[in-house]
Amino acid sequence: MSATITPYEDGPLIVRGDFELRTPDGETIDPARGTIALCRCGKSAIKPFCDGTHKTFGFKAGTKRD
């Protein structure tokens, strides 16, 4: 299983590749597609997925640790 996770500036984490998404209890979450966007702003109504809400309140986050 190999996946890449890319933090987008001021946006979600984009997950591409071969991955499995699970709840903290270990239940599988159907991603419904091969590439997904995971919310990192905490405001999405469809967590763990991004619904675009981060754009409405000006979420700020970089793309790498400095």
With CA atoms as reference, report the closest residue to 61 among 29, 45, 39. 39
Interaction between residue 54 and ligand FES (CB under 6 A): yes
- Minimum CB–partner distance for residue 40 and ligand FES (Å): 5
Minimum Å gap between C-beta 63 and ligand FES is: 13
How many angstroms separate the CA atoms of 1 and 17, rounded? Answer: 8
Are 54 and 10 spatial neighbours (Cβ–Cβ below 8 Å)?
A: yes
Instruction: Indicate whether 10 belongs to the interface with ligand FES (CB under 6 A).
Output: no
Instruction: By CB under 6 A, name the binding residues for ligand FES.
Output: 11-12, 39-41, 43-44, 50-54
